[in-house]
Structure 1
Amino acid sequence: MIVVTTPTGQIGSRLVRRLLDQDEKVRVIVRDAARLDHTVRRRVESIEGSHDDPVVLDKALTGAKALFLLVPPNPQAPSAEEHYLDFARAGAAAVARHGVGHVIGVSSAGHGWPAPAGVLSAAFAMDEELGRSGAAYRALCMPFYMENLLGQLDAIRGHGAFSLTCAGDLPLALIATRDIAGTAARLLTDLSWTGQENLPVFGPDRLTPDGMAEVIGRELGRPVTYRRMSMDAYASLLRSRGAGDQTVKDLTEAFTAQDHGIYDADWATAEPTPTDFRTWCREVLKPAVDARTS
């Protein structure tokens, strides 16, 4: 039995389908089982609740051989680190109680970064905690998600532009969530791995944001430009959306670390995943933009 958390999210939903396609027995931890696709719901065992709850984890991990753990975002959490550690401590303790042999965590690239990195540092703290569970552990270490751009569909469609905090002329490491799910599925269907390892998971491109804009424009059939946002402007945007001081600090520290090269060391050694940015734009971004237009 393989236990998957966040089975309705971008990564978890894809992972569940991949595991089912390979006839694996899957148990999911989900806040509301009704949110699962009906074709999935009838093929998995569902445990309702949150995976920071020891009672829920005890139900889910009984008889399990592996756990896929992703900490769901919570902008209202007092701090990113405490939020991640709440899930990690509960998960590590339950893994130890039930003798689960293998754990995969969704983390960030950049372990060993010498400065505070907000949400990314919180993921590193999670890895340390899960590594103490006694299970074989793989931290999937990712850079910037391509899916983050889906939050800017209106700007891309209406203004022909998207914005990030990084320099437009420096390469930005990217990953598609489908490839994160694919990597996790490969590991979970062959549990021959042992020990603990940080595994970089990076896409094949070395595009700058300006280059990304060019690719997006070609796929959409109209010009798209990249507009760099200052960190101060980004912080103001977060506050305008109700973010508290700690959330602003956690996110701006993360993007500052990204701007300063936190992903670079892992990027140099990562084996590229299959999905390039152009393919993702054609298969994911363009249909999403078109759906907003219709």
Structure 2
Amino acid sequence: MSSIFVAGAAGTIGSAVLTALRDAGADVVAGVHTPEQAEGLGQSGVTARPFDFADQESMASAMQGCDRLFLVLPLAEKMTRFGHLAVQAAKAAGIGYIVRSSGYGSSSDAHWRLGREHGMVDQFVEDSGIPFTTLRPNTVMQNFATKLAPMVRSGVLALPEAEARVSYIDARDIADCAARLLLDNAGHESRVYALTGPQGLSLAEVADILTRTTGRPVAYRPVEEAEYMDALARAGVPEWNTNMLVSLTRVVKLGMAGNVTGAVEHLTGSPARSFADFAAASAASWA
């Protein structure tokens, strides 16, 4: 049986991939950022190894004995550098196949900054000589249960996306696609899959679903970009991350994030989860 290393196993997508692989009975190693995270996972029976995305040697050491890699990177100023080091570490560790979790619409020549950052990492993977499959998921629904949960609880989604639609995807669907590939990648090498949910939703429609789920009124209030940036600054979001998030909202407003693909069902045999499904499963986040 192949041994699979999940980089970023404590994050939203990485933890979902870890769960999907464990449920499938895979031999999996969780890569996490701190010894405390490794200890916590170890107590639940998971083999976990701490590593540092900024340290190629620590990553190569953590990957030793594994032959498959799930690579998702943190949204951080050195993300592209982290991606380069991770690919070099994978080569040094003898990784034989990579599933890269990128971003929707990404490419090394994308006109929007976050798309270029992701796209450059995708290019590192492609140029590595290691067999790979790239997943490019749209914005995850789980953001509404984590980063945006205070807005949901306040009853107002104050965001600058106007009436544009986004085909939000459940992180569990990303994980199911990744797990399927990591367990059996036959016919999928060197392919790129754009992953979306089953429908494009405006934030007003998202608010309606959240209202029905929580039993409390939730409304969408469109704001100007400057107000959004000020709110991020007050929340302590670093300037680089703010710029990346703003670049993403601009793409959304251009109508480039509402398309729907059938890639989730193609890879897993099951349709993508709806936003209503996600909301029902996440109701405790807004209690």
TM-score by length of 2: 0.87
Among 103, 118, 125, the alignment partner of 2:120 is 125
Among 50, 53, 77, the alignment partner of 1:51 is 53
Deviations 1:246-287 (A, max 9, x none): 44333212221222133356x356455431001111111x21
- For 2:279, give the aligned amino acid: C
Structure-2 change in CA distance of 1:96 and 1:115 (3 Å): closer
Structure-2 change in CA distance of 1:140 and 1:49 (3 Å): same
Equivalent position of 1:35 in the other structure: 37
Equivalent position of 2:161 in the other structure: 166
Instruction: Work out the CA distance in 1 between the residues paired with 2:60 and 2:150.
Output: 43
- For 2:153, give the aligned amino acid: R
The answer to whether the aligner puts 1:154 opposite 2:150 as a matched pair is yes
Instruction: Work out the CA distance in 2 between the residues paired with 1:204 and 1:89.
Output: 33
The answer on whether the counterparts of 1:2 and 1:67 sit within 8 Å (CA) in structure 2 is yes
The answer on whether the counterparts of 1:64 and 1:100 sit within 8 Å (CA) in structure 2 is yes
Equivalent position of 2:286 in the other structure: 289
The answer on whether the counterparts of 1:8 and 1:36 sit within 8 Å (CA) in structure 2 is no
The answer on whether the counterparts of 2:67 and 2:95 sit within 8 Å (CA) in structure 1 is yes
The answer to whether the aligner puts 1:261 opposite 2:259 as a matched pair is no
The answer on whether the counterparts of 1:118 and 1:252 sit within 8 Å (CA) in structure 2 is no
- For 1:277, give the aligned amino acid: F
The answer to whether the aligner puts 1:87 opposite 2:82 as a matched pair is yes
The answer to whether the aligner puts 1:239 opposite 2:246 as a matched pair is no
Instruction: Work out the CA distance in 2 between the residues paired with 1:192 and 1:121.
Output: 29
Matches within 5 A, 1:168-247: 168=163, 170-243=164-237, 245-247=239-241
**Cα RMSD (Å) of the superposition?**
2.4
Q: Which runs of 5+ in 1 are unaligned?
A: 78-82
Question: Cα offset for 1:231?
Answer: 1.2
Instruction: Work out the CA distance in 2 between the residues paired with 1:246 and 1:35.
Output: 26
- For 2:198, give the aligned amino acid: P
Identity %: 23
Question: Cα offset for 1:187?
Answer: 0.9
Say how many residue pairs are matched. Answer: 279
Instruction: Work out the CA distance in 1 between the residues paired with 2:107 and 2:34.
Output: 37
Question: Cα offset for 1:107?
Answer: 0.8
Equivalent position of 2:23 in the other structure: 21
